[in-house]
């Protein structure tokens, strides 16, 4: 039992579940197809879900359970997930105990449980599994534990389904990349392409999938782009979700125009010259392509962007890993530090919910210090009354 990639005649890709004879497992495949084609989820999402479903079906197979009724033993499945390695591991039985290191962490276990719940929920909706399974997966809860903005507008109590099975995840806040770290990584770049890539991450705030998915017609770098049929003022980059051959995918469903400053425009110009020297007018329609190793002209991947950040952090001697996500956090925090409002940060990040932008804000210590310094001393009030 394993996850397996599928390419449809249309070119759309998704991941499914196959057995040891490479036969497609029907019910998971139906669910994963719907997830990709009907719900518009990313290919990488179907891969993560397929891997989680594989673990669930493997557990059912090894413990001789019917997957249609195994939801009553989800607690045992959680123990199995934590302590039993995959088929590549040497340990084939569950042997928890003091000093043993868990095979999977809390975050990974919760992601697997989410995939299994969604799969079984789909199976119930399609009458492949009995409805009582939902009672094993969810409990009915009210909305009293939700923030006030998330409660029913009518003022009455609203009920919702709450997952029964989950593990407590450690709080891991994503830190921002500091300006000093970004500058050091920029100076460590060895090509105009790498400099542009870094600026798109840290100055524009795009995700790796959005950077790798940019096409050559997405940047509009003139002050007036009406000649191109675009009414957006100033230099900007259009961020669009599309099916890309390199697997790059924009997490945001909507398309939007992201303003860029003169530093990014200069980086675009330098990269255009570098690309023309290597490829001339050739290469793919993607913006960022391979220039220094074959296949020349093919689009870079999201994995390559992560490897670039790792290499730059190491080359710059930062002493810690600076990820693309930390660059996105740096961009949002810098906008806020410069006086930008929450709705501006939300719009620049391409997010639908204003609250989604808050985790990206990491005020500089100097700004926090200034906020404290602005608070008047009680002594000033006393002296003013005399």
Are 90 and 97 spatial neighbours (Cβ–Cβ below 8 Å)? Answer: no
Question: pLDDT, tens digit, for every residue of 6-27?
Answer: 998 888 889 999 998 989 999 9
pLDDT for residue 148: 61
Closest by CA position to 233, among listed 245, 221, 246: 221
Paired tokens of 281 = 């007018």
pLDDT for residue 110: 93
**377 vs 306: which has the higher pLDDT:** 306
Whether the predicted pLDDT of 380 surpasses 70: no
Are 333 and 360 spatial neighbours (Cβ–Cβ below 8 Å)? Answer: yes
Are 131 and 107 spatial neighbours (Cβ–Cβ below 8 Å)? Answer: no
pLDDT for residue 3: 93
pLDDT for residue 88: 43
Are 46 and 32 spatial neighbours (Cβ–Cβ below 8 Å)? Answer: yes
Q: What is the pTM of this model?
A: 0.74
Cα first-last separation, the chain: 83
Residue 119 CA to residue 68 CA, distance in Å, equals: 11
Question: pLDDT, tens digit, for every residue of 233-288?
Answer: 999 999 998 888 888 888 887 888 899 999 999 999 999 999 999 999 888 899 99
Our CA angle for 220, 228, 40, nearest 5°, is 70
Residue 153 CA to residue 81 CA, distance in Å, equals: 40
């Amino acid at each position: 039992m394993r996850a397996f990639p599928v390419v449809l005649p249309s070119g759309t890709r998704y991941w499914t579940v196959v057995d040891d004879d490479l036969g497609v497992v029907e019910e998971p495949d139906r669910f994963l197809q719907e997830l990709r084609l009907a719900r518009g989820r990313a290919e990488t999402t179907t891969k993560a879900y397929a891997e989680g479903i594989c673990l669930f079906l493997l557990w059912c197979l090894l413990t001789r359970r019917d997957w249609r009724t195994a939801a009553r033993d989800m607690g045992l499945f959680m123990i199995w997930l934590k302590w039993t390695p995959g088929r590549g591991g040497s340990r084939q039985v569950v042997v928890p105990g003091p000093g043993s290191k868990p095979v999977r962490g809390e975050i990974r276990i919760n992601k697997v449980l989410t995939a299994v719940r969604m799969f079984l929920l789909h199976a119930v909706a399609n009458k492949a599994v009995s409805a009582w399974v939902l009672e094993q997966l969810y409990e009915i809860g009210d909305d009293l534990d939700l923030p006030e903005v998330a409660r029913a507008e009518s003022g009455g109590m609203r009920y919702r389904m709450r997952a029964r099975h989950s593990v407590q995840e450690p709080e891991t806040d994503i830190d921002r990349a500091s300006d000093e770290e970004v500058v050091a990584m920029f100076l460590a770049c060895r090509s105009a392409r790498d400099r542009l890539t870094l600026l798109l991450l840290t100055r524009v705030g795009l995700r790796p999938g959005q950077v790798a998915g940019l096409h050559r017609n997405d940047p509009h770098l003139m002050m007036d782009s009406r000649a191109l049929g675009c009414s957006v003022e100033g230099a900007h980059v259009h961020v669009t979700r599309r099916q890309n051959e390199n697997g790059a995918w924009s997490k945001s469903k909507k398309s939007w125009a992201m303003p860029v400053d003169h530093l990014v425009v200069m980086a675009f110009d330098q990269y255009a010259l570098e690309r023309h020297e290597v490829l001339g007018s050739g290469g793919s329609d993607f913006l960022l392509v391979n220039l220094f190793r074959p296949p020349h002209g093919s689009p870079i991947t999201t994995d390559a962007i992560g490897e670039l950040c790792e290499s730059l952090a190491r080359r710059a001697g930062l002493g810690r890993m600076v990820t693309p996500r930390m660059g996105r956090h740096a961009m949002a925090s810098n906008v806020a530090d410069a006086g930008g409002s929450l709705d501006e940060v939300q719009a620049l990040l391409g997010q639908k919910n204003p609250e989604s932008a808050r985790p990206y804000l990491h005020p500089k210590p100097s700004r926090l210090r200034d906020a404290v310094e602005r608070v008047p001393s009680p002594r000033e009030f006393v002296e003013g009354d005399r």
